[in-house]
Amino acid sequence: MPEYHPFDPDAPSEELPPPHNLEAEQALLGALMFDNDVFTAVDGVLAARDFYEPFHQRLFKAIAEDIRNGRLAEPTLLMSYFVIDPAFHAFGGLRYLADLVDRAPPSANAPDYAREIRSVALRRDVIKIAANIQQRAIEEAGTSGADLMADLEREMLKIRTGKDDLGFQSWAEVSRSVIYGMDRPDDRPLIKLGMPKLDDILGGAERGDLIVLGGRPGMGKSALAGCLALNVALQGIGVCEVNAEMTTAQMARRHLTDLAFNRYGADAPQYRDIRRGILTDQQKRILMELQEETAALPLRMVKRTGLTLGRIRAMLNRQRMLWESSGLKMGLVVIDHVGLVAPDIGGRSRQEDQAQVSMKLKELAEELDVVMLALAQLNREVEKRDDKRPMLSDLRDSGSWEQDADVVIGVYRDAYYARREKEPKGDLAIAEHVLRASSPWIEAIGLKVREGDVGTAKLWASIGHNAIRNEAQDDFDSAFGARKFDFATLPLPSPAGA
């Protein structure tokens, strides 16, 4: 297919058109009008804006709208949309559309033409973005190189994902996409967190959601977040854990013991045992086997103090593009915890800073098309109440987090408080106290669910293994029984490029 090249040294630069392929555009449009069923093979691959010729943009949009609404999209019916369109008549009117159909290639070739149109459109976008950044680098002496690089990465990510934040969407367009998506759930699948009780409260986690996990120290929120991260990664979905407290070695120890407990129950070591170096030979073999079997797990971890939103965005953008180049999609980002994340430009108070952090993390979730799981500390007012179960108002700087979060989950572990209470008197009271202090249950309390009802998920935990489960695991020797993970069958990506 003929194609223009913008950097031909033999031609004056002012005469070179942007990269485009009109023949591919005509071939695809003809194939769509000849066989409307072809649309299902190219829908989502490209958008109207990817066509170079403006009339082709309008024609593709009209074809797509008719097909999505169950109407036949063919030249005689489509021409009614363009009776006052000068370009339509300049191209030859109905005769032009009929010629496209007459010269339509085989339907099976349509996806190839769609990818070619999208590829050339990306080249035009790259040229435009690079020219803009080049001009800013020359003219904006006060803008740091790091900021320019972050802007470049953000714009590149936008064109890779086809996202464009500018412009309103009509009710017809948005509602139609919802109706159209009801029969195509795979186009935007919900991310299951691997704990049915929690998934039932959330209805599944949707890309673009900001989920806040709040709790006082010792409640198990970091353990719960780690289990959820591992559950998602085991589905073959990319997960990034950004931690401002634990080192990557500490996170890895917890994940290894969680995996080991899942397969071997009581024989699995606790993560403190790994740190102390008091493992048996059998436990060492268990961990070595699990590490080898899950080496390609799409899970990335970073420990960094003094994190700013800009640094987090840059790291995640790079990892997302790296994964996408190998065919893997990022799905979950865990931030532990938000109180240690600083805005790029500090405000006059902590409340202002956290308002920026909450707003920007929500924006970043939508920009990256991921679920953002943000851990937050609760204020000390919890400790003054008899019932220490968290409430929405317990979130530090709660106004901004309450507003921006799609979901807020409070984490409560009664055993933590029972072990710190003075032992009561009386046999019955002592027995009740012992039961509370040894309770393996953690409550994940839905304090806010934007598209659902609040509720409580009672989860079983072996804190020493960093293992939190949907149901009680009484039989340690066969914990999970038939539901035991078979790592050999997991949809893990290859290590190359990951």
| Distance between first and last Cα of the chain | 34
The CA distance from 132 to 135, in Å, is: 5
Same fold, 13-181 and 190-489: no
Q: What is the pLDDT of residues 467-481, one digit of tens each?
A: 899 888 765 433 333
Q: Which residue has the tokens 């790296």?
A: 322
| DSSP code of residue 209 | -
pLDDT of 166 above 60: no
CATH topology of domain 190-489: Rossmann fold (3.40.50)
Cβ contact 401:395 at 8 Å: yes
The CA distance from 418 to 422, in Å, is: 8
Contacts of 356 (CB under 8 A, 6+ apart): 309, 343, 345, 347
How much is the average pLDDT of 133-157? 78
The pLDDT of residue 135: 86
The CA distance from 358 to 405, in Å, is: 8
SS3 content of the chain, % helix, strand, coil (to 5): 55, 15, 35
The CA distance from 270 to 278, in Å, is: 10
The pLDDT of residue 225: 92
Least confident of 156-160, 202-206, 443-447: 156-160
Q: Residue 122 corresponds to which tokens in the numbers above?
A: 């990306």
Q: Residue 486 corresponds to which tokens in the numbers above?
A: 């078979």
How much is the average pLDDT of 99-128? 91
- Confidence bin at 482 (pLDDT 50/70/90): very low
The pLDDT of residue 213: 92
What's the gap between Cα 64 and its chain centre? 27
Residue type for position 347? G
pTM > 0.85: yes or no: no
The CA distance from 136 to 140, in Å, is: 5
Question: Length of the chain in residues, anyone?
Answer: 498
Instruction: Give the DSSP per-residue string, 136-166.
Output: HHHH-TTS-HHHHHHHHHHHHHHHHHT---S
Domain boundaries, the chain: 13-181, 190-489
**Beta strand residue intervals within 209-263, DSSP E:** 210-215, 238-243
Q: CATH assignment of 13-181? A: 1.10.860.10
Question: In the chain, what's the furthest Cα-to-Cα distance?
Answer: 97
Kindly report the number of other CB atoms within 10 A of residue 294's CB atom.
19
- Confidence bin at 431 (pLDDT 50/70/90): confident
The pLDDT of residue 476: 46
The pLDDT of residue 177: 67
Pick the more confident residue, 51 or 309. Answer: 51
Average predicted confidence (pLDDT) for the chain: 81
The pLDDT of residue 99: 93
Contacts of 163 (CB under 8 A, 6+ apart): 157, 367, 369
